[in-house]
Amino acid sequence: MKDLKALVAQMTLEEKAGLCSGLDFWHTKPVERLGIPATMVSDGPHGLRKQDEEGDHLGINDSIKAVCFPAACATAASFDKELIGKMGEAIGDSCQHEKLSVVLGPAVNIKRSPLCGRNFEYFSEDPYLAGKMSAAYIKGVQSRNVGTSIKHFAANNQEHRRMSSSSDADERTLREIYFPAFEISVKEAQPWTVMCSYNRINGVYASENPWLLTDVLRKEWGFEGYVMSDWGAVSDRVKGVAAGLDLEMPSSGGVNDRKIVEAVKKGELDEKLVDLCCERILNIIFRYRETMKPETPWDKEAQHAFSSQIASECMVLLKNEGELLPLNKADAIAFIGEFAEKPRFQGGGSSHINSFKTTSALEAAKGLKITYAQGYSAEKDEATDEMIAEAVKAAKAAKVAVVFAGLPDSYESEGYDRSDMAMPACQNRLIEAVAAANPNTVVVLHNGSPVEMPWIGQVRAVLEAYLGGQAVGDAVVKVLFGDVNPSGHLAESFPIKLQDNPSYLYYGGEGNRTEYREGVFVGYRYYDKKDMDVLFPFGHGLSYTTFEYSNLRLSAKEIKDTDTVTVTVTVTNTGKRFGKAVAQLYVGDKESTPIRPVRELKGFEKVALNPGESKDVTFTLCKRAFAYWNEAIHDWHVETGDFTIEVGASSRDLPLKETVKVESTVELPRRYTLDSIFMDLMADPKAKAVLMPFLAKMRKTFSPDAEENTTEAAQEAISEDMSLAMMNYMPLRGIFSFGGGDPKMIDALLEKLNQPG
Ligand code: BGC
């Protein structure tokens, strides 16, 4: 690797400022006299959207023919780190072939509401799952010596007013929910670049937020690459440089380059900060250039087949009453609904891929006894009476009717949010008509985010295919007919109705301010705490076989927060088919001072099992699995006590439960004042030890003639008083207001109470 400091030293201020913004839509600027090449970046995340000529970032101009893999809404449901890692490798190979230095993904923002227009591009409502899947993807791509750009950092959870809105959340909420997907990815996979988001966080644009881009990302998590802006996310470029935003994308037409130069010349910006940006950008440019391999083959047909395999591992069998699925290949089946012929397999906006081919379910099912009725027009958003009549006729004539439904393109896309969670009314009408005509009705869904299912009680099976990439039709047919046993599990809760969602009251915000008032209670963290019914819970997914979870074993029953504990469970395939289980581990704090979720996902593993086969799955839990973000110490903290460890097949199907005691090794700072109440003081053994003799002394002073007036007896009596609920809430000042109290003595007492150790 070149000596980058020496190289930067040779650059003029103008060249350096220039390197800090794009040449055009997709390239970094070259400095030819110094041998610094331009490098190209491109969307991402689930395939390449490389635009050679007139680039625009909204997908209006066509990009090169490429392979559209399943979107993150689908791949997350695979719960399969290895699989998404291999998908990353395939994308990395195509980047090498196309001379791309960085692919703009993965997108890891948390699904705060089902309404976010970009949910299809994001992994989960759960930060741990999103982080683990993202890290595996990053490792896969980067194993090919191509960079990734994890995005959109951070708290970019709505499309509504995305370039001006401020996501206002408290520190704990950001740390526990909105940051960990980035944190895990940075710590485990070191993405070459990070893309900062459009929005502000607590009033400060992500692109000029030193706390976010420098303190948290670099100093705490150890990020080593460069930060680029989302396209057009820069408001004040000079503030951005100071905050740690290295590269502005796309080009600012030279305007912001000049601002950087001026700010340095006027002494408003330290030139060293510009140098640092350049070093970081050059580090990645040369890392790519020195290992670039344009001779890497890009076998699109092989990737198409692989895309089908991935999609089939992602599909979630939501319902399968009386084992209607898998279907029998000898039976007459009606495929109903336009998506059977023209599947919806990707979302709109910057991730939109110009697929080199697509496979529909109708094509994939050629040779089987299939009839087809269009049922509705997705583009016109209508189902005419004739269409419904034709669908009903086909359903009646078939043994099983499969309705291919979901959300049309216009319903979810980058750039705007959905206004409700409903499927098109015409499709709901179609499903109801078909279900009335044939009791054996299956619904296959193509959507990027949860939908309400008013017809759920009328159909026997539902297969959630998500936006499964260009080969989705092939995968759907394989799953429907049992060539592949479904093994996807929901990476998000499906509420019964939109109003049930915890962010419902605040989502979208008021003007440019969106308050995250539900705090850490996002998705199942909320539904479980409220013990609410959901349509389908987080982690849910059926199979054509059955699994049993048994023999939960812990390596220790008591640990310190500096130790780890391993949890082992046996998973057995108790059915008749090969299948894959997703063993999920959740941790919950039995009693805690902070208000915490009932359970949180802290481990998952996909296990392939033949009929009758058993395998042990082992999880290792460390401090983070038990910790919450403590705002007083600005750090993770474990409160000493018992924690539940639950293992099973979904957040609501957890047959195994154990308890582990975790002891904290960290002493929280004591900040007692006269307003501190007895209950809190007594709960702290050290404070109690200080307070008791003092109280006993006071008692003796007030009633010197009391009978059994030894210090011990007084202490005992006080302890009894303390247990009275009324005393619990008495502030320390209370005892002084009754008995006067020497201010010097009070100060001395407080000092003692607040002493560490
Ligand atoms: C999107 C990014 C994307 C970029 C480049 C932006 O509008 O938010 O996700 O990578 O455009 O196309």
Distance (Å, whole) CA 40 – CA 285 = 9
For atom 11 of ligand 1, the residue with the nearest CA is 231
pLDDT tens readout for residues 676-699: 998 899 889 899 899 888 777 776
What pLDDT shows up at residue 56? 61
Q: Is 185 helix (H, G, I), strand (E, B) or coil?
A: helix
Which atom of ligand 1 lies nearest, measured to the CA of 121? 9
Asked whether 70 and 303 are in contact (CB, 8 A), the reply is: no
Which atom of ligand 1 lies nearest, measured to the CA of 415? 7
Distance 353 CA to ligand 1 centre (A): 13
pTM of the model: 0.96
* Residue carrying structure tokens 């390197």: 19
Crossing angle for the helix pair 271-289 and 255-265, to the nearest 10 degrees: 140
Distance 350 CA to ligand 1 centre (A): 5
Identify which of 40, 60, 104 to mutate to test ligand 1's pocket (most ligand atoms within 8 A of the CB): 104
Q: What is the 3-state secondary structure (H, E, C) of 669-731?
A: CCCCCCCCEHHHHHHCHHHHHHHHHHHHHHHHHHCCCCCCCCHHHHHHHHHHHHCCHHHHCCE
Order the strands of the 200-201 sheet from edge to edge: 204-205, 200-201, 166-168, 513-515
Sign of the alpha-carbon torsion through 185, 190, 192, 198: positive
Sign of the alpha-carbon torsion through 45, 46, 48, 49: negative
Paired residues of 406 in beta bridges: 446
Distance 304 CA to ligand 1 centre (A): 24
Q: What is the CATH number of domain 547-663?
A: 2.60.40.10
* Angle of CA points 244, 250, 252, to nearest 5°: 85
Sign of the alpha-carbon torsion through 115, 116, 120, 126: negative
CB atoms near residue 676 (< 10 Å): 19
How would you class 494 by CB atoms within 10 Å of its CB: exposed for 0-12, middle for 13-18, buried for 19 or more? Answer: buried
Distance 230 CA to ligand 1 centre (A): 6
What pLDDT shows up at residue 710? 67
CA 194 → CA 99, 290, 334, 412, 457, distances in Å?
Answer: 20, 21, 47, 25, 45
Residues forming CATH 2.60.40.10 domain(s) in the chain = 547-663
Residues forming CATH 3.40.50.1700 domain(s) in the chain = 307-529
Distance 407 CA to ligand 1 centre (A): 22
Which atom of ligand 1 lies nearest, measured to the CA of 43? 10
pLDDT tens readout for residues 587-600: 999 999 999 999 99
* Angle of CA points 472, 137, 571, to nearest 5°: 80
What pLDDT shows up at residue 97? 98
Write out residues with Cβ below 6 Å of ligand 1: 43-44, 57, 104, 151, 230-231, 350
Distance 41 CA to ligand 1 centre (A): 11
CATH class of 4-289: alpha beta
What pLDDT shows up at residue 691? 86
- C-alpha closest to that of 237 among 217, 216, 263, 203: 263
**What tokens does 639 get?**
């409160």
Helix (H) or strand (E) holding 240: helix 237-243
Write out residues in the chain with pLDDT < 50, as ranges. Answer: none
Distance (Å, whole) CA 112 – CA 173 = 12
In degrees and rounded to multiples of 5, residue 167 shows phi and psi of -90, 105
In degrees and rounded to multiples of 5, residue 207 shows phi and psi of -75, -5
Distance (Å, whole) CA 498 – CA 128 = 24
CA 45 → CA 50, 55, 97, distances in Å?
Answer: 12, 17, 16
Sign of the alpha-carbon torsion through 423, 43, 215, 662: positive
- C-alpha closest to that of 476 among 347, 314, 338: 314
The amino acid at 451: V
- C-alpha closest to that of 450 among 505, 407, 508: 407
For atom 3 of ligand 1, the residue with the nearest CA is 350
Residues forming CATH 3.20.20.300 domain(s) in the chain = 4-289
What pLDDT shows up at residue 707? 52
Pick the CATH number of 307-529 from 3.20.20.70, 3.40.50.1700, 1.10.1060.10, 3.40.50.720: 3.40.50.1700
What pLDDT shows up at residue 728? 83
Identify which of 57, 108, 234, 354 to mutate to test ligand 1's pocket (most ligand atoms within 8 A of the CB): 57
The amino acid at 449: S
For atom 12 of ligand 1, the residue with the nearest CA is 57
- Supply the DSSP string of 438-483, one letter for each residue: -SSEEEEEE-SS----TTGGG-SEEEE--S--TTHHHHHHHHHTTS
CB atoms near residue 436 (< 10 Å): 13
- C-alpha closest to that of 78 among 582, 577, 618: 582
pLDDT tens readout for residues 556-577: 999 999 999 999 999 999 999 9
Distance (Å, whole) CA 229 – CA 210 = 14
What pLDDT shows up at residue 733? 87
For atom 8 of ligand 1, the residue with the nearest CA is 230
Distance (Å, whole) CA 12 – CA 130 = 42
- Residues designated as active site: 230
Asked whether 271 and 239 are in contact (CB, 8 A), the reply is: no
Which atom of ligand 1 lies nearest, measured to the CA of 198? 8
- DSSP structure class, residue 30: P
Distance (Å, whole) CA 479 – CA 485 = 6
Sign of the alpha-carbon torsion through 334, 313, 107, 624: positive
